[in-house]
Amino acid sequence: MVKNSFLKEKIDLKSPNKNITPVTTSIGSDGKLSIGGCSIEELVEKYDSPLYILDEITLRNSCRAYKKALQKYYPGESLPIYASKANSSVFMSNLISSEGLGLDAVSEGELLTALKGGVPNEKIVFHGNNKSDKEIEFAVRNNIKVIVDNDFDLDRLEKISNSFNHDLEIMIRFTPGIECHTHEYIRTGSFDSKFGFGIEYLNTLFTKISNTKHLKLKGLHAHIGSQIFELEPHKDLGEIMVNVIVEAQKFGHNIEELNVGGGLGIKYIESDDPPSIDEWVKTVSNSVVKACKKNNLDFPTLMCEPGRSIVSTAGITIYKIGAFKEIPGVRTYLSVDGGMSDNPRPITYQSNYSACLVSNPLNISSKNKYTIAGKHCESGDVLFKEIELADCKTGDLICVFGTGAYNNSMSSNYNRIPRPAALLVYDGEAEIIQMRESPLDLLKYDVLPDRFIKQN
Ligand code: LLP
């Protein structure tokens, strides 16, 4: 008998990143899965599959955990800033802003989404290693703080501030040279990174900024990577950043804001054991406080930029099982109605997830091993290489946990497969937050040149 023991684990309400499932996950008297008080089977009957679902309580608990911990451990001002690349939508922007968090955007699209969702412009920061002129102007016109990533950014901001003839506050991003243990594609703080200024260039940069008429260096930013379970790199980061503030003072810059980026990992599978939000914030805060005291510095405003640890555990994806293919002695493929277009993480980073059958979440039945494949024309479109599931058949539903971050936001239309709908669940009610695309929607931007129409 196989049991999905992760569904029996005690739920940590205060730090959702330590759970595999949303905090409202329950198993009804009928033995079936429900989230946010909603029966998953009923939601699929009404909204079809595949389906992204976000649990409001899990989302709010994560936001509050960051706010609360910063207030508890950091004696200065603080602001958690949601990294919207994890899951950007008008709804997410609205929820984030209702919780009093700021938002990090990396394109005009993410900026517009944040503004449309009601995030106040003074709480938005604008990142990116290759911002377009249009994007920079858009940010400046909307009083959104730009995080300068390179000289190209700096030169354009200098020109804009001169043309407006007024001061412009900026932050700079640098690479602190910290290595952490995560997938190399999502490691960003080491010397060999496309993001930010090298730490060895900072003195030149400070002089350059001092020589501008209107640029005011207000803050420092660094981000060392994502899905990190160790606390040590962030402890080191706090200290390194404070040392940079001290260095900047020698060039006449009074840095008031310190943004340590995001990176706290979440529990995707049972062997994952990330620190809690409280522990992470405590580590970062203590390290900044200690370094400030050592250098006799006023406490800067402390900012952090969590993405995954805010939204990932709140999200699940529901798929319907279609075809089975048994290769005797090798494996049994079970194919679902989505895959790499709604979740590109397994094929990109070999990421692992946990899943269960909606009708038998605790997996109480005989032991079956399956390979869960997506429906795309690509052999690597496999969501689970090997997973134990209860007896299942075509038409049954599978719930994949931990898909709130970097799934919808990294989705594609490969094979012209429309994106799923997304729902928000709360207290037994489900509301649409993203409409399901249709194949016809995907034709919207196709253009057949006139001469081809004539030919046919
Ligand atoms: N701040 C900056 C500047 C970032 O580049 C990122 C993530 C974050 C904050 C948020 O990091 P988080 O708290 O989510 O770890 N697509 C990859 C993750 C890429 C992360 C990119 N930057 C994945 O699916 O694992």
Mean pLDDT along residues 311-322: 98
Q: What would the pLDDT profile of 171-220 be if each residue is shown by its tens digit?
A: 999 999 887 666 655 556 667 889 999 999 999 999 999 999 999 999 99
Pocket test for ligand 1, best of 127, 226, 340 (most atoms within 8 A of CB): 226
- Name the percent of the chain in helix, strand, coil, to the closest 5: 35, 25, 40
The set of residues, in sequence order, having a beta carbon less than 8 Å from that of 155 and lying 6+ positions away, is none
Instruction: Report which ligand 1 atom has the smallest distance to the Cα of 227.
Output: 15
Does the Cβ of 87 fall within 6 Å of ligand 1? no
All structural domains of the chain with their residue ranges: 5-54+316-443, 57-311
Please identify which of the residues 38, 304, 356, 377 carries the catalytic annotation.
377
Homologous superfamily of the 57-311 domain (CATH) = Alanine racemase (3.20.20.10)
Q: What would the pLDDT profile of 335-347 be if each residue is shown by its tens digit?
A: 999 999 999 999 9
Per the CB < 8 A criterion, the answer to whether 145 and 124 are in contact is yes
Q: Indicate the Cα dihedral angle 399, 404, 406, 411, nearest 10°.
A: 60
User: How far is the centre of ligand 1, averaged over its atoms, from the C-alpha of 27 (Å)?
Assistant: 32
Domains 5-54+316-443 and 57-311 share a fold: no
Ligand 1 atom 19: residue of nearest CA: 186
CATH fold label, 5-54+316-443: Lyase, Ornithine Decarboxylase; Chain A, domain 1 (2.40.37)
Ligand 1 atom 1: residue of nearest CA: 261
The set of residues, in sequence order, having a beta carbon less than 8 Å from that of 396 and lying 6+ positions away, is 320, 321, 357, 358, 359
- pTM, rounded to two decimals: 0.96
Share of the chain above pLDDT 90, in %: 91
Top pLDDT among 186 and 40 is at 40
Pocket test for ligand 1, best of 150, 223, 311 (most atoms within 8 A of CB): 223
Residue 333, helix vs strand vs coil: strand
User: What's the DSSP call for residue 29?
Assistant: T
Residue 183's pLDDT is 60
Residue 366's pLDDT is 64
Is residue 377 part of the annotated active site? The answer reads yes
Kindly report the backbone phi and psi dihedral angles of residue 49, in degrees, each rounded to the nearest multiple of 5, phi listed first.
-135, 165
Q: What would the pLDDT profile of 238-259 be if each residue is shown by its tens digit?
A: 999 999 999 999 999 999 999 9
Place of tokens 């503004």: 115
How many other β-carbons are positioned within 10 Å of the β-carbon of residue 14? 16
